Chains A and B, each alone.
Chain A
Amino acid sequence: MTGFWPLFKRELWAYFVTPLGWIALTIFLLLQGWHFALVIDHVAALSAQSASPSGAQAGVSLVSGFFGNTVFLYLILFLLIPPLTMRTFAEERRQGTIDLLLTAPVTNTAMVCAKYFGALAVYVTWWAPTLLYLGIATQITAIDWGVVGACYLGVGMVGAAYIALGVFASALSRNLFSALLFTVLIVLGLFLFGAVEFVTAEGTWMHASARYVSVWSHMAELAVGVVDSRRVVFYGSITMVSIFLTTHLVAGWRHE
C-alpha cells in the first residue's frame, strides 16, 4: 500500500476544495432534513391515531421510516454517488494527471484504495450529521440505538458497494459524463433487479435472486434491527470484486 496516505489526503482535499463537494453535502443534508421532518410528521400522525402508542414503538417507526421503506435513501444514492465517484479516475485520465501517479513510487492497490476510501470518507461525512437528527428525536421519543446501529451499518454497506462500483465505472471511462452514466446504470440496474421481487411469485428462483440483491428489502430488514450476514457478504463481495477489478484495470493502462 505504498503511497496510500498522501493520495488519500489529496482525494479528501480535492472533494472539499471545490464547490461541487459542498453543493453535494448541502443537497444531501437538505434532502435528509426534509425527509426526517416528513418521517416525524408521519410518526406523530400515527401516534395521534393510535390509542396508546408506546414511546419505543414510535421510536422504531421513526428509525425504520428514516432508513427503510423510503424512496429518499435510493434517490440520494442515485443522485449523489455517481457525481462523487465519476472524477476519481476519469478526470485524472482526461487531464493526463494519471501520469503523475503512474510514474510515482505508488502501488496500483494503494492508488485505487486511496481513491475509494477518499470517496467513502466523504460519504461518511455526508451521513455523520444525520446522527444529530436522531439525537433531537430522543427529546420526543425513545430510540433503540441497536436498531440505529444496524441502519447505519446498512447505509455504510450499500454506500461502500455503490462507491466501489462507481470507482470501477470511472476507471473504465475517459470522460466524466460516461463515468457518471455508467455508475447510474449499474446502481439503477441493481435497484430495478431487486424490485423484481415485488412482481414475482414467492418461492420462484427469480424472486429469490431478486430478493438477494434487493437493496429495498435489505434496508427494510436492517431498519427493524435485523442484521443478516448474507447482506454483509453480498455488499462486501461487490466492494471487494469492484476494487480488485479496478486495480487490474489500472495495471492494464501501462499496456494501452
Chain B
Amino acid sequence: MLRIEGLTKRYRNRTAVDQISFHVPRGSVVGFLGPNGAGKTTTLRMIAGALGADAGTVLIDGVSIDEAPLVAKSKIGFMPEHVPLYVEMRVVEFLRFRAELKKVTAKDRNSAVDRALVDAQIADVADLRIETLSKGYRQRVGLADALVGDPPLLLLDEPTASLDPNQIREVRLLIRKLGGDRTVLLSTHVLSEVEAVCDRAVLISRGKIVADGPIAEVTARHEAGAYRLRVRADAGCISPVAASIETLRRVDIASAGDGQCTLSVTFRPEAAFERELERLVAALVQVGIGVIEVGPEQSRLEHVFTELTREVAS
C-alpha cells in the first residue's frame, strides 16, 4: 500500500531524513517509532505531500506522490501531530468542508461525516465551534478529519497525545479495528501504543531506519545477547569487573536495595553469549560478589528502542 524508496530530506547542512526505505503492506498497522527529532514528522509530511523530498520516491498504492499528487493524496487521511483546524467552524461544518475537498460526493457526504464523527467519538460535540473544544476533543476532530472519506491509507502522527486514559484506550481500539480494511502508519514515541496496536514496527533514529519488521521479530533480534543479573554488591564494585569483559557492549547497573544491584548487560553480536556470560559470572564471583539470579533480559520494545537509538547516537 505504501512503499518508500531512498527518501531523503535535507535542511541546509543537516540531513533530517537520510535515504530511508520501507514498505507498509495493505491492511497492516505499522508503528513508526523514534525519539524526538528523529525525522518521523518530516517523513510523514513527505508521504502526505505537504513537504517535497530532496531524493527518493513515495508510492501510495503504486501512485507516486510527486508524479500524480492529486490521485495519491486522495488515498491518504493525514492527522498531523499539531492538529491544524479552522477553529471558527463548527465540527460538522469543518468535516463537511473536508469531505467536499476530498471529493466525497454530495450524496455520500453526510453519511461519511456521520461515520467519522462516530468513529472518532465526537458526535456529542458535532454542533459546537472547534474553538470551544478541549485539546483532547480537537485531537479527535483531527482524527475524524483523517477518517472522513474512508481513505485507504491513514497517516497518524501521535494520535493519542492530549487524550485521557479512557480516550487513549478507545482510540487504540479504533486504530486496531481500522487495520482490518485500511492501512495505518502510526507515528509515536509511546512504545506501549505500538505494542498494543501494531503488527510491525519501523524504528527511525537520526533520519535513518534502524529496525524494520514484525514486532516480535524486531525484539527477538535485539534480545539476543541481553541478560539480567541480580548480585549482592555495591554498584561501585561491579564496574571494574564489567570493564574486564571486553565482549560486553552495554552494562546498566541499578541499585535494588538491601545491598543488592541489578545488572542489565548486552554482549557484542559476534560474541558467544553463553560462554561470555559464564566468564562474567565467574569474574564477579572471583572478586567476592554473590550472584543471586541470572536470566535472559525480559526485553520488550522499549529496550530495543533504547538500544538502537543509542547505537545511532554514538
Chain A residues at the B interface, C-beta cutoff of 8 Å: 2-3, 5-7, 9-10, 14, 17-18, 95-100, 102-107, 254-255
Q: A103: which B residues are within 8 A, CB to CB?
A: 48-50, 73, 76, 78
Binding site for A on B (CB under 8 A): 45, 48-52, 69-71, 73-74, 76, 78, 80, 82, 84-86, 88, 97-98, 100-103, 145
Give the docked Cα–Cα distance between A95 and B87 (Å): 10
Contact A99–B84 (Cβ < 8 Å): yes
Which of B70, B84, B101 is in CB contact (< 8 Å) with A6? B101
B98: which A residues are within 8 A, CB to CB? 100, 104
A206, chain B: closest CB distance, angstroms: 44
**Do residues A254 and B50 form an inter-chain contact, with CB atoms below 8 A?**
yes
Question: Shortest CB–CB separation between residue B10 and chain A, in angstroms?
Answer: 11
A100 smallest CB distance to B (angstroms): 6
In the complex, which residue of chain B has the Cβ closest to the Cβ of A96? B84
When the two chains form the complex, which single residue of A17, A95, A98, A106 contacts B101, counting CB atoms closer than 8 Å?
A106
Q: How far is the CB of B7 from chain A (nearest CB, A)?
A: 14
* Chain B residues in 8 Å Cβ range of A99: 45, 48, 50, 78, 80, 84
Q: Which residue from chain A places its CB closest to the CB of B51 in the assembled complex?
A: A254
Nearest-CB residue, chain A, relative to B73: A105
Q: List 6 tightest A-B contacts by C-beta distance, closest first.
A: A254-B52, A96-B84, A6-B100, A97-B84, A105-B74, A103-B48
B88 engages A107 (CB within 8 Å): no
| A104 in contact with B73 (CB, 8 Å) | yes
Q: Chain B residues near A2 (CB, 8 Å)?
A: 70
Partner of A107, one of B70, B102, B103: B70
Can you identify 14 A-B contacts, CB atoms within 8 angstroms? A6-B100, A10-B86, A14-B86, A99-B45, A99-B84, A100-B86, A103-B48, A104-B102, A105-B71, A105-B102, A106-B70, A106-B101, A107-B70, A255-B52
Closest Cβ neighbor of B54 among chain A residues: A255
CA of A14 to CA of B97, assembled, Å: 12
B101 close to A7 (CB less than 8 A): yes
On whether the beta carbons of A10 and B97 are closer than 8 Å, the reply is yes
Determine if A14 and B73 form an interchain contact, defined as CB atoms under 8 angstroms apart. no
B52 touches A102 (CB 8 A): no
Complexed CA–CA distance, A254 and B51 (Å): 4
Q: Which of B45, B70, B88 contacts A18 (CB 8 A)?
A: B88
Which of chain B's residues have a CB closer than 8 A to the CB of A3? 101
Bound-state Cα–Cα, A98 to B82, Å: 12
A221–B258 Cα distance when bound, in Å, is 98
Residue of A nearest to B45 (CB): A99
Q: A2-B70, A7-B101 are in contact. Are A96 and B82 (CB under 8 A)?
A: yes
- Residues of A contacting B76 with CB < 8 Å? 103
- Given known pairs A254-B51, A254-B52, the reply for A97 and B86 (CB within 8 Å) is yes
Q: A99-B80, A100-B98 are in contact. List 5 more A-B contacts (CB 8 A).
A: A2-B70, A96-B82, A103-B78, A104-B98, A255-B52
Q: What residues of chain A lie closer than 8 Å to B49, measured between beta carbons?
A: 102-103, 254
Cα distance A41–B78 in the bound complex, in angstroms:
61
Q: Which residue of B lies closest to A6 (CB)?
A: B100
Q: Kindly state the separation between the CA atoms of A104 and B103 in the bound complex, as whole angstroms.
A: 10
State how many angstroms separate the Cβ of B205 from the closest Cβ of chain A.
Answer: 24
Q: Chain A nearest CB: distance from B280 CB in Å?
A: 52
Contact A102 B85 (CB under 8 A): no
Instruction: Output the least CB separation between A20 and chain B (Å).
Output: 11
Closest-CB distance, B267 to chain A (whole angstroms): 46
Q: Are B97 and A6 in contact (CB under 8 A)?
A: yes
Inter-subunit contact A14/B88 (CB<8 Å): yes
